[in-house]
Chain A
Amino acid sequence: MIIEDLPPDAADRSGRPVLEVDELTVTFRRRGEQPTRAVDGVSFAVAPGETVGLVGESGCGKSVTSLAVMGLLPRRGVEVGGSVRLDGQELVGAPDRTLRGLRGADMAMVFQDPLSSLNPTVPIGTQVTEVLLEHRELSRKDATAQATDLLDRVGIPDPARRLKEYPHQLSGGMRQRALIAMALACRPRLLIADEPTTALDVTIQAQILELLRELVVDSGTALVMITHDLGVVAGLCDRVHVMYSGRIIESADRHELFARPRQPYTGGLLASVPRLDGVRGAPLHPIRGSARDVIPWAEGCAFAPRCDHAQDDCLTEVAGSTVPLEYDGPGRELRCRHPLEYPRSPAGATAAGAAR
């Protein structure tokens, strides 16, 4: 399952970002209802061969961010602001035809539930071949040969036979592989994976994560990994953006983030997951309340109702301004007025110790 035979031109490691997202906002407007801002000024970039993680709890805006990048949100009732550039080309406001041309060819997406993103009435093989035929000048015969090759590369055994099978005949793990095969068909520069392993068993998850890891290393694809699982982030992502209520609240390289989380929310998340390698019986320290207990960012830090560090100046009324996302040392950004502090020498500092 090694993706070694991609042409060298696919492995562009120039360092120039493949994807640049700037101040992205997404607002849902429904008649008779208050508009809801699901994504509220999100900025990040992904370089070739880099894996960037977007983490956060249910409803924080991860999926809406990815759909906005892919241009997959409906036009009606949805307002997208800010800028999304793929290899420098602006996608916000681009015509549907342009977006359709880019999707599948230059950027692709893998969803949590592969069954709903595959057509149940069309054999897997045909679905993969269609992608190839649509975006590349190939004869049907060559496309079929390439489809077989792709299924083989993503670790689907006996691919020639599998091509004729329907999605429901494959297991969850195999379907996810098929979907990844389709996403990879045209060697996209950008792959967005939205909770690609959440519905899978851990041993199958391990296989899929290994496949994604190989893909990034071998083809230089820029990968955006969306997940709520901090363990997956720790094992896969180079850079991590933690989201809360539609905004990024902390960004850092993965080692930095896990060793010294600064945002109380990030620290709280790490302190609330039981660790397989932790001391058994070590108490968990949950975050109070739930993601429903938020205040609008305009009124103050959305996390304030659940935050143990909150003080009066976390509210806009008191501070006179909203909490900004600011430089927080090399490679780090932070949105917090009273972050977690660590002793000067980084040697003794651990995430578990300081976050508690």
Chain B
Amino acid sequence: MTADPLLRVEGLQVHFPIKRGVFVDRTVGHVRAVDGVDLAVDRGSTYGLVGESGCGKSTLGRAVLRLVEPTAGQVWFDGTDVASLSGEPLRRMRRRMQMVFQDPLGSLDPRQDVESLLSEPLHAHGLGGGRAGIAERVRTLLDAVGLPSAALRRYPHEFSGGQRQRIGIARAVALEPDLLIADEPVSALDVSVQAQVLNLLEELQERLGLTYLVIAHDLAVVRHISDVVGVMYLGSLVEQAPADVLYEQPLHPYTRALMSAVPVPDPVVEENRERILLAGDLPSPANPPSGCRFHTRCPWRQETRCDDEAPVLRELGTGHLVSCHWAEEIRDGVLTPRSAEEVAATMGVSIRATGVENPESDALVQGLDAPIERR
């Protein structure tokens, strides 16, 4: 049964209620952070999830670990439905799935020195074989992530960002997990240090046979580290393909736009590459567009099918899934793109703010008069 994927996600939805009201919290709608995602991660491989801010990447990762309860759908880990677990079996399963966070300083207790940070999870799960065994394990871990043993007595704030991320990774692999979910593992780091951490992740995967779900907004980073890449837009996967195939032949208009927007550190490439500028901002996940969710910004949108009918994720090549009605026509050049200005003009420009901290004053919440969904 080793051919089974280690992680399988089916029809996963996470909807957060939007509450409003002076005396009684009234649910006025839902943020559809994750809205029906299917994916599978093979053992020993890396699945990279990309997408822009607020598309639901982190929520998906958290739902896999059951740090948030899914609204619907299933998560299968090593053949077991995670939702069916509780108590000790859930605890054991959680040990096999660990997370690495974006901000290493925020995720490490500042009052604990490195030794206690690394030995704590071992104690908690009764692993490592006694005091001496744990001390030995901790030293091996430090060595594995390239930190000197002098680091043991020091505290998180005494390290640079890259070193802190190494500590976070050491802590995550301490329990010998099978799956590591890394949420923006390098985006807070300096360029020269990002590469150190990416190399470390690759090396540990090889040595420990780890399976990775890497979540990041940087397509170049994701492509570098992943075997399979999934592109998310407003809570759904719009395209999934082996990393090379996705780069060679992106089929979804959003993927193409995203790729054309990633700056490449080469002036010759920059001067000659295709640029697809998108109109406007990401629409609100509380009030996603009808039909194809990308239709408000899509340079290839075709009336009225794109506005009315939601495309399904379908396989166009081996392992290459795309959710666009017109993927073949776009690939073959039968349909041609419109400019961002034209799209903005034809869509009558509906640009709503996203990512606002204060939901009460959030334009998207204010604009929401009727509940989208009652339950």
Using CB atoms and an 8 Å cutoff, list the residues of chain A in contact with chain B. 1, 57-58, 157-158, 165-166, 168-174, 201-207, 209-210, 228-235, 254-255, 258, 268-278, 280, 283-287, 290-292, 351
Q: B192 touches which one: A57, A205, A207, A233 (CB < 8 A)?
A: A57
Are B267 and A57 in contact, CB atoms less than 8 angstroms apart? no
New contact pairs (7) apart from A165-B363, A201-B282, A254-B267, CB-CB < 8 Å: A168-B361, A171-B356, A201-B217, A271-B195, A274-B221, A284-B195, A290-B163
Of chain B, the residue at the smallest CB distance from A283 is B199
* Cα distance, A1 to B198, chains bound together (Å): 39
Which B-chain residue is minimally distant from A162 (CB atoms)?
B351
Which residues in A have their C-beta under 8 angstroms from that of B257?
Answer: 203
* B side interface size, CB within 8 A: 60
Query: Is B344 close to A, CB under 8 A?
Result: yes
Segment of B168-176, B258-266, B322-330 in the binding face:
B258-266
| 24 pairs from A and B in contact (CB 8 Å cutoff) | A1-B341, A57-B191, A158-B349, A166-B361, A169-B353, A169-B362, A171-B281, A202-B258, A202-B262, A203-B261, A203-B277, A207-B277, A210-B275, A233-B265, A234-B263, A268-B192, A269-B192, A274-B195, A274-B221, A276-B219, A276-B220, A286-B193, A290-B193, A291-B160
Asked if B263 and A280 sit within 8 Å, CB to CB, the answer is: no
Decide yes or no whether B161 CB sits under 8 A from chain A: yes
**Distance of A45 from chain B, by nearest CB (Å):** 21
Q: Which of B266-299 contact A (CB under 8 A)?
A: 266-270, 275, 277-278, 280-282
Q: Is the CB of B277 within 8 A of A275?
A: no
CB pair B349–A258 under 8 Å, yes or no, is no
The reply to whether A203 and B163 form a contact with Cβ atoms under 8 Å apart is no
Query: Does A202 contact B217, Cβ atoms closer than 8 Å?
Result: yes
Contact indicator A276/B277 (Cβ below 8 Å): no
- Name B's A-contacting residues (CB within 8 A): 52-53, 160-163, 190-196, 198-199, 217, 219-221, 223-225, 243-244, 247, 257-270, 275, 277-278, 280-282, 340-341, 344, 349, 351-358, 361-363
A58-B190, A274-B223 known; A157+B355 contact, CB < 8 A:
no
C-alpha gap A276/B270 in the complex (Å):
12
Known: A283-B199, A290-B190. A270 touches B351 (CB 8 A): no
Among residues of A, the one whose C-beta sits closest to the C-beta of B186 is: A274
| The 7 residue pairs across chains A and B that have the minimum distance between CB atoms | A231-B263, A286-B195, A274-B224, A272-B195, A230-B265, A206-B261, A287-B192
Q: Are A228 and B191 neighbours in the complex by a CB distance under 8 Å?
A: yes
Contact B192 A234, beta carbon cutoff 8 Å? no
Q: Which residues from chain A contact B217 at a C-beta distance below 8 Å?
A: 201-202
CB distance from A242 to the nearest CB of B (A): 12
Contact of A207 with B259 at beta-carbon distance under 8 Å, contacts A234-B270, A272-B195, A276-B247 already known = no
Cβ contacts under 8 Å, A278 to chain B: 224
In the complex, the chain A residue whose C-beta lies closest to that of B269 is: A277
Which residues of B are found within 8 Å of A285, using beta-carbon distances?
A: 195
